[in-house]
Amino acid sequence: MTGNSVKRRELVNIMTKYTEALIEKNPSALPLADNCRATYNGMEIHPGENEVWKNTLVIRERQTFVDPVSGEAVFFGMMTNETIDRNQDFKIDFPVYVIYYQYTVRIKVENHEITEIEELACDRRIRNFYNEIHDIKLPDLEFEIPVPEEERSTRMELIEIVETYWDACEQEEARKKLPVHPDAQRIENGYRTTNHSYSFLGDFKHNPGFRWKTPKNTRSYPVADPVRGLVVSECLLQDNKEAPDGCRGMMIVEAFKIKDGAICHVMAHFPRIAGTTGWEK
């Protein structure tokens, strides 16, 4: 077994411990480093001290991505306080009304301990994204299929392609260079946003609402997997004008599938945040 295989297994194992601890309301079960840093929607917290931990009884939909090179793992989930058979083994804060969360967490593991936890969650549907949170379906198996060797990109090439994607959100020149596969689809918060009014590339070219500031110091690449053509990246999509809700923008986590040097599939989850991301470089 290679060193990367051992590290992958460790990341998977620790993410399982994480999701189980969340359901059981037991952050003390996590292998936390003494200097572990945790945020929830950009705000610094103690691990486990947020609404998702305090209200989730079951994680209905799940998908995990791991990277033994970065030592990071990212989990996408749909969580709720409503169980099918009404069992409730753990106390929750809001037992009367049903709640659904669209949720992601990034963890970083060093020396077998969690040193970073970045949680992002949203409990409501964004207007004009015509998919309720409870309709989100995971896993998206497109990201699990290995890419044939002749269609693969290197780790650095994968990251450079996604860098161009973020640049294209705000720069005309980058839009002209963005490599997009003819079959490209984009799923945002469970809703397919491509090929309604515009194609994947058409949004960048013609959709005036598809313009964001994407500060480079908010971009990160916790997962890059050449075998699967997979990149998981985070970035702040900053509002170009003052937003009516007072928020700064959307902190987005996107999984990208890349084949033949072109983006062919994207899955995005994001909440709106008011302050910093908590992880600016």
Segment 230-257 mean pLDDT: 84
CA distance 28 to 267: 32
pLDDT tens, residue by residue, 191-241: 998 988 889 988 888 888 788 899 999 999 999 999 999 999 999 998 766
State the CATH number of the domain containing residue 226.
3.10.450.50
pLDDT at 131: 86
pLDDT tens, residue by residue, 141-157: 999 999 999 999 999 99
Q: How confident is the model at residue 15 (pLDDT cuts 50, 70, 90)?
A: very high
CA distance 60 to 126: 20
Dihedral of CA 45/92/25/62: which sign?
A: negative
SS3 call for 262: strand
Last residue of a domain, one of 80, 113, 139: 139
Same domain flag for 57 and 160? no
pLDDT at 150: 98
Percentage of the chain modeled with pLDDT above 90: 73
CA distance 186 to 168: 15
Task: Let me know: does 110 contact 31? Beta carbons within 8 Å.
Answer: no
Instruction: Look at residue 281 and tell me if it is in a domain.
Output: no
Same domain flag for 64 and 88? yes
pTM: 0.94
pLDDT at 94: 72
Same domain flag for 133 and 152? no
Same domain flag for 121 and 166? no
pLDDT tens, residue by residue, 91-124: 888 777 899 999 999 999 999 999 999 999 999 8
Instruction: Look at residue 279 and tell me if it is in a domain.
Output: no
Q: How confident is the model at residue 275 (pLDDT cuts 50, 70, 90)?
A: confident
Query: What rounded mean pLDDT belongs to the chain?
Result: 92
Instruction: Look at residue 278 and tell me if it is in a domain.
Output: no
Q: How far is CA 241 from CA 212, 213, 218, 244, 245, in A?
A: 10, 10, 18, 9, 12
Q: Which domain holds residue 94?
A: 3-139
Same domain flag for 202 and 248? yes
Same domain flag for 125 and 166? no
pLDDT tens, residue by residue, 165-197: 999 999 988 889 999 999 999 999 999 989 888
Percentage of the chain modeled with pLDDT above 70: 96
Last residue of a domain, one of 139, 161, 195: 139
Which of 235, 237, 263, 257 shows the shortest CA–CA distance to 248?
237
